[in-house]
Amino acid sequence: MSSATIAPSARVPTVSGILGALLRADFTVQLRNGRALVLTLIVPLVLLYAQFAGKRAVQLGDPLFRVATAISFGIASIAILGYTATVARDREKGVFQRLRVTPAPTWTIMVSRLAVQLVSMLAMTVVVLLAAAVVEKVSLDPAGYVLTLLAVIFSSAVFLGVGQALVGLIKSTDTINAVGRLVYLPLFGLGLFAHSQIFGTTFETISRWSPAGAVSTLLGGAMRPAAWSAETWGALLASILYSLAFAGVGIRWFQWSTR
């Protein structure tokens, strides 16, 4: 190719071709990233098991809510620890700059990255739901499974929005990794008590409407379509608003280069 005759005017590639190339590369990177695989699968499975072990487990909420919490935890891990780390690392190394000098529109670069994360989250959800059914004997009706996967899409937007806000507001990779860990545990820990009065009703209310709490409530509602309530609609609305707010901050201040 390099010795071929030059075309008089190079043609602009199609968006579908560009997205196909990016998705293939991003999925390959994700599958080869051992840390991402651990975050994606092991962490939520450990939490699922932990929530069903011990005498006080029942105080964390009903079984479906505890499964929802494990999924929510997995989504948060992938988005806040995995996504931010890869974006920050590639930005610092100049991977994005190299992509930006190609005809690929910048939105395709981000859409591809986010699509890979979303698929990872859906795969993690399927694994957790399977583990819940096989190990903990917590299963859903068919509509519950479909609705849960749809709810994961909204839930992922919340945490990917948080991750995007982190990489938008902070340039240094080391700082992003440190802040990600600092944000992750309180953010998730707050949501863990969305259906528990262990720390009182005020804490429960705050927890319920926190990002992780809203996601857990939404997922818990999706698992039980017959019991979908005003509170579930509220959690859906809260998830959308959190997504818009975090993503808005993350997109507004995001820079493709650390220089």
Partner 1 sequence: MSATGETPTHHPALQVEDLHVSYGSKRAVDGVSIQIHEGEIFGLLGPNGAGKTSTLSAIEGLLRPDSGSIRIGDLDTGANPSAAKARMGVQLQSTSFPNDLTIREIVRLYAGLYGVPLSRADIDDLLGEIHLEEEASKRFSQLSGGQQKRVSLLIATIHNPPLVLLDEPTSGLDPQARRQLWDRIERLRDTGRSILLTTHSMEEAQAVCQRVAIIDRGKLLTVDTPAGLIEKHKDDPRVRKVARGQVTLDDVFIGLTGSEIRD
- 80 close to 163: Cβ distance less than 8 angstroms: yes
Q: Which is nearer to partner 1, 105 or 189 (CB)?
A: 105
For residue 239, the minimal CB distance to partner 1 (Å) is 31
Piece in contact with partner 1 (CB under 8 A), picked from 2-10, 61-69, 181-189, 237-245? 2-10
Q: Which is nearer to partner 1, 55 or 259 (CB)?
A: 259
Task: Kindly tell me which of 5 and 201 has the beta carbon lying closer to partner 1.
Answer: 5
Q: Give the shortest CB-40-to-partner 1 separation in angstroms.
A: 15
Return d(Cα 192, Cα 124) in angstroms, integer.
19
Q: Which is nearer to partner 1, 93 or 181 (CB)?
A: 93
Range 220-239, binding partner 1 (CB under 8 A): none
Span 74-133, contacts to partner 1 by CB under 8 A: 90, 93-95, 97-105
Q: Does 59 bind partner 1 (CB under 8 A)?
A: no
What are the backbone angles phi and psi of residue 207, rounded to the nearest 5°?
A: -60, -40
| Residue 133 CB coordination number (10 Å) | 14
**In the window 9-48, what residues touch partner 1 (CB under 8 A)?**
9-14, 17-18, 20-22, 24-25, 28-29, 32-33
Q: What's the distance, CA 177 to chain centroid?
A: 16
Question: How far is CA 259 from each of CA 91, 172, 238, rounded to the nearest angstrom?
Answer: 10, 10, 36
C-alpha pair distances (Å), 230 with each of 8, 49, 202, 218, 242: 62, 30, 20, 11, 18
Alpha helices in the chain (DSSP H): 15-32, 34-37, 43-52, 63-76, 84-93, 95-100, 106-134, 142-169, 173-192, 201-208, 211-223, 230-253
Q: Which is nearer to partner 1, 37 or 45 (CB)?
A: 37
Q: How far is the CB of 32 from partner 1 (least distance, A)?
A: 4
In the complex, which residues of this chain contact partner 1 (CB under 8 A)? 1-14, 17-18, 20-22, 24-25, 28-29, 32-33, 90, 93-95, 97-105, 257
